[in-house]
Structure 1
Amino acid sequence: MGHPPLEFSDCYGDSPDFRERLKCYELELERTSKFLKDVIKDGNSVINAIKGYSVAVHKFSQTLNVFQFDFIGDSLTDDEINIAESFQEFAGLLQEVEDDRMMLVQNACDLLIKPLEKFRKEQIGVTKERRKKFEKESEKYYSQLDKHLNLSAKKKEIQLQEADELLDKERLNFYESSVEYVYQIQQVQDRKKFDVVEPVLAFLHSILTLNNLTVEMTQDFMPYKQELQLSLQNTRNHFESTREEMEELMKRMKHPTQIGKMHGQPTIEGYLYSQEKWALGVSWVKYYCKYHKDSKLFVMVPAEPKPATKQGPTELKLKSCFRRKTESIDKRFCFDIETYERNIPVTLQAVSEANRKLWMEAMDGKEPVMELNEVGFKFVRKCINFVETKGLTQEGVYRTVGSNIQVQKLLNAFFDQKCPGDVDFHSSDWDIKTITSAMKFYLRYVPVLLNVVKLILYSLDDRLGAIHSLTYKLPEKNREMLSLLIQHLVNVCSNSGDNLMTPSNMGVIFGPTLMRAEEETVAAMLDIKFQNIVVEILIEDYTKVNLKNVITFPPLQRAQESCDRYLMHCGIINIQVFHGTLHSRFY
């Protein structure tokens, strides 16, 4: 709201209109003074609030910084290492922001409070003093004027001259104080335009500068944030995969028949019935059997020896173990073992289905139809062809699970011994979920990467070298199947924009499928994350691992052993250097 200017000439007239205009200036001055009080008060509140907030954030960052993650197991994945260090990263970022904020708070008083207080003291305060002087001189002048006008004309001339001089003096003082007051009050109105706004602007600039720095720091923080979010997602996926396996193990361990498997016991023992053929027919003989897993020695002791005979224990060296199909024998809970001592399999009967499963797991038993043979390769190739023809871009391919009944129906039909492989995948009976679940089921029972040692390596080159060495040691069929599968998974992941299946997701799905721990324990379940990483690296670095071109030279192994003996004879101790040179020349 504008005010008409106060002219110095108006001070001499001192009209009611001049006084009214002067009063408007005085009211505005009071309003400005009150406004500055509120700004100073609220500004202090803001500064104190910033101080309190900054102190709280500092305390929060210190709490984050001192916390250390503990993990189950003796090694961490890259994602877990990233997560373990995240709180220190958070603390460092918060500390950096709050250091800048504390600098703002320390300067805030000089930027905002002191200039405003100085304006109130030196400008408004001085103006009020001038007003007091103006009012005092005004009162004296008009009081003297009243007295002067009341003088009698009959007074002596000298008395009248003295009265005139006194009035002139009071009038001069009044005019002087009026002019100074008018000057000062108009100066305040003009000065507040910059003396008040400049401190507020400086304070606001500091706040916005801090906000701008915070935005820049946020931009710098974004790559780390995205990397950490990926690590968190990968770790969550690993957790879900491990949790499912651990829940299954927990359920099995609740059953009394699982007690014999606990603590990684190297043997399993109990009663079994053996099918034996005699001249008069087939009979089932009861034995107390013991299997030593390390030596693969299977010992059979007759439970009911005949009185007239001395029948001792029978020791057999295990080659393989297979479950007997229900339709192939009229007894329940049966399985066959192949041994080096006998030309035909030994058919054994367990006391229950759970007991048979224990024996088969101890002997690394397999389903009768689940072998890594030509039929299995045909099955996997047909599954891959179907997926790459009809489901390559389907969202969540391999993640969604098919019906167990349909999966078993497909497996039984394809691996039927009478006509194996005679199944039309493109018929209406099979959908993509059934086929992908059936393929995972088959690969789970014939794991391609057996007895994988946990890869705890810290550089990408070490990991690639270790995985390459691992694939080099695989049997030819296992390596061929692995190459076939990984090439397919590379194709699937190349369409991740549509199917949302990344190498990390595929690792979570196929890590436990392709690899099997030596024993089922919680520790082994927690190591699934390393199996997932192996599959993820195989997919991402398929060309570097070069599965297709890995070849073996059995004669070279024997030649190398002979060289070892010759080198030792010649006094060459560092044989490993020779091995490395030999490997680089031939591989």
Structure 2
Amino acid sequence: MKASRFCHIYVNLFAFQPVQAFISSELSTLRSEFLDIDAKGYVKESINFTSKVEKFLASKQKESCLLGGSEEQMEKDRKAYMSTSFNYISKVQEAEDHVKFDFIRNMCLFMHTLRGFYRSALLCYDNAQKTIDDASLASQEIINPHKFEQSFNESKDAKANLKNSVLLEPWEKIGPTESYSGREGYLYVYHKKPVASNWSKYFCIFHKDNKQFQMIHYSPGKSTDFTTENYKFQYCTKKTLDPTIERRFCFEVYLEGKPLPMVMQAQSAQDFNEWTSVLDGKDPVIIVLLD
């Protein structure tokens, strides 16, 4: 008992106390990095951008000739939002990487120092050997600073290259590769109600090989359960015959199990053309009855 108590006192004086201030400083630095990530500001920016898109798409078709400047501003807003999104994601990932590297690496170095002390005190070393070995095994990739620095720099360069390529690419073309037989992206869906009708934003996925059409409701700034609505696609018309709808880029999708067609709105002329192309959209047939 006396030898064990002496070992604990020795560890406290010569192992724990010298690194206590160092660990506190590391924790304070990590906390500052996480506080530097403005999550609420990014959510607010997402809501503002979605609001701008909805106002732009809500403009009537007969006003399109007057919206040349608005379309240019909308494109600038899209690129600014993409840049903000990449910066936010990069900050989150960099903070998490520093947690793994700065904090865990220093803790592992401390554990290895403590392991050297336990070698000179066989009883304490035997009691802690399994815990120390498990920690070393779990962190064997992290404690190599050169390997981590190389991986971190490669990941950072890849994110920068991806960000630049996305900003240079027209936003409508950002999506699956050409070999993908289908399409996915955001569409606005018209819900007609007796009192007041409204438009809701959905993330839609169409699989052309099996005619599956999936819809996931999207609401920025609110908790979403990501419930997926699955339908069997039937056919599509390039225009809507509803006289009450004056929005641009609208088309109708006929889904199995839906008694009426669903009116959907793309986010641009290019987006409209690509959706109606992959859905094999046809011009609506108008039947005129003559007396």
TM-score bin (small chain) = 0.3 to 0.5
Q: TM-score, normalised by structure 1?
A: 0.19
Relative contact order (alpha carbons < 8 A, sep ≥ 6): 1 or 2 greater? 2
Larger of the two Rg values belongs to structure: 1
Higher fraction of helix: 1
TM-score (norm: length of structure 2): 0.36
